[in-house]
Structure 1
Amino acid sequence: MKLLLVPASLAVIYLLAWAVSSDRRGIRYRPLLVMLLTQVVLAFLLLNTTAGAWLIGGFAAGFEALLGFAGEGIEFVFGGMVNEGAFSFFVAVLLPIVFISALIGILQYIGVLPLLMRGIGWVLSWFNGMGRLESYNGIASLVLGQSEVFISLKKQLGRLPRQRLYTLCASAMSTVSMSIVGAYMQMIEPRYVVTALALNLFGGFMIASIINPYRVSADEDLLEVENPRNQAFFEMLGEYILDGFKVAVIVAAMLIGYVALIAMINGLCESLVGVDFQTLIGYLFAPLAMLIGIPPAESVAGGSLIATKLLSNEFVAMLQLGQYPELGPRTIGIISVFLVSFANFSSIGIIVGAIKALNDPQGTEVARFGLKLLYGATLVSLLSGTIASLFL
């Protein structure tokens, strides 16, 4: 049955992207086919093979070790503030972001990450049919995050046409930064996190090349990355540590606000119509849940989680995933893959603000296509969930 449903779902997702394409005749189908086959192979390897299980186990063990090191610093500062045996989401899940951010800064400074990102980006250029800048940005967004990545490209930011700017922003919104991957792994299964990271990378290029097709000439295919050694080492390290702490505090603040607002709206809806708000929006988004392979009996709960992620953020939806005992393992897997991205309304403001701080006119340009950007990034998440459903 899956072999019939998945192609139909893919056709619908591609059609939704084609419907808003800026140049339908300019779409190149060979790179799309290559990237689709790459996604299918990656999903199979990561979800259905011993080698994939070993790779994910190693990845998860690495992050578990890093979280252990982070715990040493957290215990030194916050030890005793949490009752013994109690769980604090901020302390256990968010504060390790500070250490991971510092580690990324060190690897960036000594040149390891720039070398890896350039090399992998060069290989990706063959798959996606795009320029080196777009390929580098896809990898850099995965490592640095959706706002920090533009700092590394600020030399070129002012010279980019609208089409290329859209692709860069779409990659940034479709992926997640390595600094918060450890936090995700504490809320959902690591194999779904790793699978989503791989699928979203190619999915972002695919959807962008349908919505916004263009060709990059040889003289335009330049890559100028900001040199991280322009700062002193400890100045850089201090900035990355503070940036990591800012991310942790911002996520905590957003969770407090969104969870409280959702609780209030749920209470109001229950008192007025006898059904909570998340169930109501679940019915509205149930067709999207069924589109990515969730059974009809679980589609309302799945639709509720999809809507929660889009309207608030992925953290809120991940925290609420365990509140739906009716969801089966297959649905949990599909939804988990869908949730691993920055595709939500607040990300529009984050990306616009980051670019505007570096280049005001380009920030204004991004604001103009902000909703189209979210539309495309959401299709990427739907695409990843659909591909994953083939092997769950």
Structure 2
Amino acid sequence: MALTYTLDNARSLIAVALIIFISWLLSENKKRFPFFLTIGAIAVQAGLVLLLFAIPNSQAVLSGVTAAVDGLADASDRGAQFVFGYLGGGQSPFATVPEGGQLPFIFGFRVLPLILVISGLSALLWHWNILKWITRLFGLLFEKTMGLGGASALAVAANIFMGMVESPIVIRAYLDRLSRSEIFLMMVVGLATVAGSTMVAYAVILGPVLPNAAGHVLVASIISAPAGILLARIMIPEERKATELDYEVTLKYENSMDAITRGVQDGVMVAVNVAAFIIVFVAFVGIVNNLLGLAPPLNGEPVTLQSLFGYVFAPVAYIIGIPWEEAHAGGNILGVKLFLTEFIAYIDLGNIPADAMSERTRMILTYAICGFANVASVGIMTGGMTVLMPERRSEILNLAWKALIPGFMATLMTAAIVAALPAQLFGG
């Protein structure tokens, strides 16, 4: 396989340096820049990408991940169809519906049930020690390569699979011992990654327009964790010895049924939050677009919130490696992700026809928006963490908005590192 390197790849390296520089400008202690951690984080990110894409038969492994996700989606559809009938994707009773009687993809009946299934399955796999050991392996990786303490390392690793609200529960017994820097780190990584339940939902949304979408979304959440660690440590360096951890006092379930029950209950909360925020934010977009419709056209097109996002964030899309001719569309997606939600951004990205955007640009954006760093998630995160740590409420509220910037930049850094590598590694 011949690898080619272009200016688009090289430009992405400038983005990595710029993101690190901005984080340093926002640092509370500019004299304590973590040089070795910077090298280690970038090396871990690039190494994980190469490990997951460049080794022989890696594409077959990622195709297997995609097949597994398709299997989970199909199983979830069966449950949804049992409850919701044809609205869940079954045969339509209406003869006028095209394409063999199949209804269009309905988000509420196809994606939200999937969140419930994956949430319950994740809790069961944790109880069976499968997900627990995978999380511990990633925790050990972060502990050895980035110098994290046991508690922080496990919480960071749990963020990759469980999400920003669930991961603190894993180390609940240690939350009162965490330093300010460790709490900030947990917030940033939580905003830079996504939960397993939503990860699968994103893959289902992108599946029709991006080959190996499930593999890309999984890799995106994994490799954004080191970026989140780095940017958090640059902005608020650790001042004391990291909190150690006894793995025997982490999250536990009584039995398999307890795991499924609590997992489904947690999934209901996630699904309700996702549905509620999407309804509200889509409505807000409609209100703003109606007001913007009173303004004169911009470049011959009606002024909308999405078009404004495109102009504001086009330079960001360009610097992380997207060609200029697609930068406006890319900036639109980035703006929607930051100010609305990543779910809406993925839906918008999935609605762009396959021939209207290059596969490389779509792949870069998949990494750039694969994180919870948006305005709505800050509220969800602070609500969950203040319940777990009520005595540190003011500290959490003070750090939450500060964490949004590095959380957003961490996924941009991940996208830039992916864009810096030859497209042929990813099958392009």
| Range of TM-score over shorter length | over 0.9
Spell out, residue by residue over 1:27-81, the C-alpha distance to the aligned partner (whole angstroms, 9 max, x if none): 2212321221222233344455653312211111122222222223222212234
* Distance of aligned partners of 1:147 and 1:365 in 2 relative to their CA distance in 1, 3 Å threshold: same
Q: % of aligned pairs identical?
A: 27
Where does residue 186 of structure 1 map in the other structure? 204
| Superposition deviation, residue 388 in structure 1 | 1.3
* Distance of aligned partners of 1:351 and 1:225 in 2 relative to their CA distance in 1, 3 Å threshold: farther
Where does residue 209 of structure 2 map in the other structure? none
* 1:242-253 correspondence to structure 2 within 5 Å: 242-253=265-276
The answer to whether the aligner puts 1:174 opposite 2:192 as a matched pair is: yes
Where does residue 220 of structure 2 map in the other structure? 196
| Superposition deviation, residue 324 in structure 1 | 4.7
Spell out, residue by residue over 1:291-322, the C-alpha distance to the aligned partner (whole angstroms, 9 max, x if none): 21122222222111111101111110111124
Where does residue 97 of structure 2 map in the other structure? none
Residue 260 of structure 2 aligns with an amino acid whose one-letter code is L
Where does residue 32 of structure 1 map in the other structure? 38
The answer (yes or no) to whether the contact 1:152–1:225 under 8 Å persists in 2 is no
* Distance of aligned partners of 1:294 and 1:229 in 2 relative to their CA distance in 1, 3 Å threshold: closer
Where does residue 259 of structure 1 map in the other structure? 282
1-structure distance, mates of 2:166, 2:158: 9
The answer to whether the aligner puts 1:373 opposite 2:410 as a matched pair is: no
2-structure distance, mates of 1:299, 1:179: 30
SS in structure 2 at match of 1:341? coil
The answer to whether the aligner puts 1:282 opposite 2:300 as a matched pair is: no
| Superposition deviation, residue 232 in structure 1 | 5.2
2-structure distance, mates of 1:19, 1:25: 11
Where does residue 74 of structure 2 map in the other structure? 68
Spell out, residue by residue over 1:192-238, the C-alpha distance to the aligned partner (whole angstroms, 9 max, x if none): 313312320211112112112226537x4334664544645434422
* 321-330 or 200-209: bigger deviation: 321-330
2-structure distance, mates of 1:17, 1:223: 32
The answer to whether the aligner puts 1:23 opposite 2:23 as a matched pair is: no
The answer to whether the aligner puts 1:156 opposite 2:174 as a matched pair is: yes
* 1:116-135 correspondence to structure 2 within 5 Å: 116-135=134-153
Where does residue 318 of structure 1 map in the other structure? 346
Q: Aligned to 1:327, which of 354, 357, 365?
A: 357
The answer (yes or no) to whether the contact 1:353–1:363 under 8 Å persists in 2 is no
1-structure distance, mates of 2:261, 2:49: 38
Where does residue 156 of structure 2 map in the other structure? 138
* 42-51 or 285-294: bigger deviation: 42-51
2-structure distance, mates of 1:227, 1:12: 38
1-structure distance, mates of 2:248, 2:404: 26
The answer (yes or no) to whether the contact 1:355–1:362 under 8 Å persists in 2 is no
SS in structure 1 at match of 2:86? coil
SS in structure 1 at match of 2:275? helix
SS in structure 2 at match of 1:25? coil
* 344-353 or 20-29: bigger deviation: 20-29
2-structure distance, mates of 1:54, 1:295: 29
Where does residue 65 of structure 2 map in the other structure? 59
Residue 72 of structure 2 aligns with an amino acid whose one-letter code is L
Q: Aligned to 2:117, which of 99, 110, 120?
A: 99
SS in structure 2 at match of 1:221? coil
2-structure distance, mates of 1:368, 1:156: 20
Where does residue 387 of structure 1 map in the other structure? 417
Spell out, residue by residue over 1:91-120, the C-alpha distance to the aligned partner (whole angstroms, 9 max, x if none): 222211111111111122233322332233
Structure 2 residue runs without a partner (length 5+): 1-6, 93-100, 207-212, 298-302, 424-428
2-structure distance, mates of 1:201, 1:54: 24
Residue 289 of structure 2 aligns with an amino acid whose one-letter code is N
Q: Aligned to 1:336, which of 361, 366, 370?
A: 366
* 107-116 or 155-164: bigger deviation: 107-116
2-structure distance, mates of 1:147, 1:67: 24
Residue 399 of structure 2 aligns with an amino acid whose one-letter code is F
SS in structure 2 at match of 1:95? helix
Give the structure-2-normalised TM-score: 0.85
| Superposition deviation, residue 125 in structure 1 | 1.1
Q: Spell out structure 1 runs of 4+ moving beyond 6 A.
A: none
Residue 244 of structure 2 aligns with an amino acid whose one-letter code is D
Give the structure-1-normalised TM-score: 0.92
The answer (yes or no) to whether the contact 2:123–2:259 under 8 Å persists in 1 is yes
| Superposition deviation, residue 89 in structure 1 | 1.4
| Superposition deviation, residue 340 in structure 1 | 0.8
Where does residue 360 of structure 1 map in the other structure? 390
* 40-49 or 173-182: bigger deviation: 40-49
| Superposition deviation, residue 270 in structure 1 | 2.5
Q: CA RMSD in A?
A: 2.1
* Distance of aligned partners of 1:38 and 1:195 in 2 relative to their CA distance in 1, 3 Å threshold: same
